[in-house]
Chains A and B, each alone.
Chain A
Amino acid sequence: MVEPGDDELIAAVARGDPSALVGLYDRFGRLAFGLAYRILEDASLAEETVQDAFMQVWRRADTFDPTRGGNVRAWLLTVVHNRAIDARRRYLDRRPRPVPLENVEAVLSVPDVWREVSIRLTRDEVRAAVDTLPAEQKQAIELAYFEGLTHQEIAQRTEVPLGTIKGRLRLGLKKMHTVLSAPADAHGHDGRAHQGGERGT
């Protein structure tokens, strides 16, 4: 039998096909668990989070629209990330989450060109893009993304002015976008040629 594509699986989930959700789990479960574990550093909590996220996908699959640049893998992992950060704050850090993320994705549609880019992205390419960043930009992005810190908390943790942290977050992501959007054969080459600077306060 031919393996269904991601879009076909999510469409089947939206129609209420439980085997399609299990198919998505079989395809992305290890990555989802890896992400949750990276954030939570606790296998049991990470599994709970992944289960919670997949059930969220089950309930919300009918809101996914690939024609607007949606990418099933990215969407699913965004759900896992949000759930994991919530869990980290709730169980590990005992901090309330300052910023629910419900509207960012709703307001923005992903550029069509990025859909193609994001679908073909590999771990090595993303890691290579991260590695092009200056250490301080990489640290700021990791603290925000994997530890769920706000820019203010990052500034306090690193003892760096808030405006500098904002700059590191923005410039780091912009740099990664430039690197990841480059043709595949350019990854790891042109990206290292121009380091992003930063504007402090």
Chain B
Amino acid sequence: MDTMDGRTRVGNVEPRGTRRDHQHYEDLLGAVALGAATPEERQLVLAHASTCVACQAELSELWAVVTALPLAVDEREPSPILRYRIQSALQHESVREQTTEREEPARPAERPDEPPAPTTVREMRPRSRAVWLWATAALVLLVVSAGLVLWNITLQRDQDQERDAGGETIAVQLASPAPGSGAELAYFEDRGVFMLSVHDLPEVAEDEVYQVWLIGDDGAPPVPVGAFGESTSEVAVAADRARYQTLAVTVEPGPLGSPGPTSDPILVAQLDPAAS
């Protein structure tokens, strides 16, 4: 008999296969599916389920229901910053992975507490992370060393907040302005952030993106600071204005663009305050 203090029959189970055992394991299926059983109970139930078709089927069903439970909660709007933090973490992760790959090609062992995909554990597919998405390790390091972070902002609220803070407007030239198209650029000196807003740019092909570049006056190659796919978009670029003369946008192969510009700019802005 189970007791309130948590003692169960698990330590005294009879050899698997008896009707009594089956009933005992069956009773635990819900708790196991919900992660509410003890480790010992779970281990025994899973062992039993591996040889008991009925319990295996029921456990699969119960677990499937558990995966649907999150849908019962109300969606909530997180702070817009969370999206930036994830993008920034991705950048750091990519740099870290590339460094690790150079030093130690094998992937680190999985942490035991990390939940896997709802599948059987399979051999890892080789990942081509950073092969062309981040272009090259050097490129990524260049971006990071330049202290640049690009945030593709889709929330109007963010831009409104930035505008409320009072940024300096910078003139933008469109190379071939289409009817209705336009662009605005502002720089917020206190935060070191450019806000680029474009609307109704000429559509790019499905496998192309708009890519944003910062260009200095030191002869160095243009620095890629991000890409976006929609012809109407808002983008934030964190950068020291004093280090760059020009911001430009080109159309490049997607999803993340090219290491260097491969087409003429469709948009150019001179960042030198004297030019504004």
| Most central of B74, B76, B77, B152 by chain A CB within 10 Å | B76
Looking at the complex, which of B53-61, B163-171, B235-243, B245-253 is the stretch in contact with chain A?
Answer: B53-61
Contact partner, A68, options B5, B81, B120, Cβ 8 Å: B120
Asked whether B255 is an interface residue with its Cβ less than 8 Å from the other chain, the reply is yes
Q: Are A151 and B65 in contact (CB under 8 A)?
A: no
Asked whether A102 is an interface residue with its Cβ less than 8 Å from the other chain, the reply is yes
- Chain A 1-43 per-residue mask, 1 if CB under 8 angstroms from chain B, else 0: 1100000000010111111111001100111011101100001
Contact partner, B78, options A14, A50, A58, Cβ 8 Å: A50
- Residues of the B chain whose Cβ atoms lie less than 8 Å from the Cβ of A130: 69, 72
Question: Complex formed: what's the CA distance from A141 to B69 in Å?
Answer: 10
Q: Are B82 and A33 in contact (CB under 8 A)?
A: yes
Asked whether B268 is an interface residue with its Cβ less than 8 Å from the other chain, the reply is no
- Kindly state the interface size class of chain B when it binds its partner: 35 or more
Q: Are A118 and B82 in contact (CB under 8 A)?
A: no
Least Cβ distance of B148 to chain A in Å?
A: 15
- Residues of the B chain whose Cβ atoms lie less than 8 Å from the Cβ of A30: 75-78
Contact partner, A110, options B28, B30, B31, B60, Cβ 8 Å: B60
Asked whether B127 is an interface residue with its Cβ less than 8 Å from the other chain, the reply is yes
Q: Which residue of A lies closest to B77 (CB)?
A: A30
Q: Given A75-B118, A105-B116, answer yes or no on A144-B65 (Cβ-Cβ < 8 Å).
A: no
Q: Are B125 and A80 in contact (CB under 8 A)?
A: no
Q: Are B69 and A126 in contact (CB under 8 A)?
A: yes
- Chain B 73-103 per-residue mask, 1 if CB under 8 angstroms from chain A, else 0: 1111111011101110111011000000000
Question: Complex formed: what's the CA distance from A58 to B86 in Å?
Answer: 10
Question: Complex formed: what's the CA distance from A31 to B67 in Å?
Answer: 13
Asked whether B147 is an interface residue with its Cβ less than 8 Å from the other chain, the reply is no
Q: Given A74-B68, A104-B42, A106-B120, answer yes or no on A19-B8 (Cβ-Cβ < 8 Å).
A: no
Least Cβ distance of A113 to chain B in Å?
A: 10
Interface, chain A (partner B; CB < 8 A) = 1-2, 12, 14-22, 25-26, 29-31, 33-35, 37-38, 43, 46-47, 50-51, 54-56, 58-60, 62-65, 68-71, 74-75, 77-82, 85-86, 98-111, 114, 118, 121-123, 125-127, 130, 141, 144-145, 148-152, 154-156, 161-163, 165-174, 176-177, 180, 201
A–B Cβ pairs within 8 angstroms, 13 of them: A21-B86, A22-B83, A30-B75, A58-B93, A62-B124, A62-B125, A99-B38, A105-B117, A110-B118, A141-B34, A163-B27, A174-B30, A177-B62
CB-based closest 10 A-B pairs: A16-B129, A170-B30, A169-B30, A74-B67, A64-B117, A77-B70, A152-B6, A33-B78, A30-B75, A144-B36
Contacts A65-B117, A123-B71 known; 6 new A-B pairs at CB < 8 A: A22-B90, A109-B118, A152-B5, A171-B30, A176-B65, A177-B62
